[in-house]
Amino acid sequence: MHELAIAQGILDIALRTASCHKATKVTKIKVLIGELAGIVPEALEFGFDALRAGSMAAEACLSIRMVPLTGRCRECGAQSCIDKYCFTCASCGSYALEILTGRELKVESVEVE
């Protein structure tokens, strides 16, 4: 379950951010996760809930926004969502797709008091 290690990293970022801003409490953490990142949101939330106890983030809300997998065809220039990992252009059928979104794993913001 690599989500536990990722949850620890998210918590570390939030706690460092709170310390840098001389805050006493982390209230919300917003995270972007790409569809291709291979992370199960429920497992990440479970790990985060277990790790945050006793810290400044003990009552923090973890807000996860999933980012769809999208690509642009290098042949015809069409942009589209990539469904079911079928890496072909929906317009021309080419396999020359450039991934635009869907690989994200990023702490977007940390709210503190």
Distance CA 110, CA 70 (A): 26
Is 86 annotated as ligand-binding? no
DSSP code for 55: S
Is 20 annotated as ligand-binding? no
Is 89 annotated as ligand-binding? yes
Contact 107, 64 (CB under 8 A): no
95 φ, ψ (degrees, to nearest 5): -95, 5
36 φ, ψ (degrees, to nearest 5): -85, -5
Which residues line the annotated binding site for Zn(2+)? 73, 76, 89, 92
Which parts are annotated binding residues? 2, 73, 76, 89, 92
Binding residues for Ni(2+): 2
